[in-house]
Each structure stands twice: as C-alpha cells, then as structure tokens.
Structure 1
Amino acid sequence: MIMKYEVIIYWSQEDQTFIAEVPELPGCAADGETYQEALQNVEVIMQEWIETAQELGRIVPQPKGRLLFA
C-alpha cells in the first residue's frame, strides 16, 4: 500500500532523536536516530494504525495531501 499522508519530521532536542508525525492519523508517530530511520519507522506505524482502525471498524481518513501545519 502506498501511503499518501503528509509526514512531518523534526529533530527533538529533548529526546535527541528525529520524530515523524502523521497529522491526519491521530497519535500516529515514530522516531529514529536518523531522518531516514524516522521515516521508515513511521511508514510501518501508519500501516499498523490503518489496520487497527479497520479491525475496530473505525473510519480511516482519506489523505488530503499537503496540509498547512508547517
């Protein structure tokens, strides 16, 4: 499955790691020691988020494309 959700990646000074968040999927976030690792990790979490939502009968939002968070 190709993920088309916007991902925001930033450095967390407090945690000393990169954080990747998916604003359209509440609570969907991951971290990594590198930018690329954070992105890879959040792709796994997005898939798990969607699978869990479907199993629970919850609505999975359609990707909206570029958001205005940044």
Structure 2
Amino acid sequence: MKDYHINIFYSEEDDGYIADIPDLKYCSAFGSTEEEALREVLKAKTAWLEAAKAEAKPIPEPKYRPAIYQLVS
C-alpha cells in the first residue's frame, strides 16, 4: 500500500518547520525542527483519518507525488 506524501519546509514567517499532507485537506503541523514537524503531522494524519471514518466521510487514496526533475548533462 502506498502512503501519503508529506512536504516539510521551513517557514520564516512562523520561524519553524511546517509539514503537510497534500492529499488530506488541511492536514498540517508545525515544529521547531523537521523531525518535530514530521512527528506532529503523523499525529495529525491519524486524527484526520479517525475523524473521517467516524463521520463516514470519504478518505482519499494517496495520489500526490512531487515532480521529479532530472539534470541533463
């Protein structure tokens, strides 16, 4: 089974790291380090999926994949 893609990036505005899961609308988290942001977004993912199941809402399949660029010499 595929898992959901997670983006992690530094936000100067927030002075920390943001992690988000593009396939799960509004599923994101903050951390002072990349590792903390990842831990927090994994908790958010669990909560998101549990809430969707409890409310009988559709759960999207993991589809998002970042563009991969190849350098041509």
- Specify if TM > 0.5: yes
State TM-score, norm by structure 1: 0.87
State TM-score, norm by structure 2: 0.84
Counterpart AA for 1:8: N
Counterpart in the other structure of 1:26: 25
- Could you tell me which runs of 5 or more consecutive residues in structure 1 were left unpaired when the two chains were aligned: none
Counterpart in the other structure of 1:60: 59
- Larger Rg belongs to: 2
Map 1:37-52 → 2, pairs under 5 A: 37-52=36-51
8 Å contact 1:18–1:31 — kept in the other structure? Answer: yes
Question: 1:61 and 1:31, CA in 2 relative to 1: closer, same or farther beyond 3 A?
Answer: same
C-alpha distance in 2, partners of 1:4/1:12? Answer: 25
List structure 1 segments (4+ residues) > 6 angstroms apart after TM superposition: none
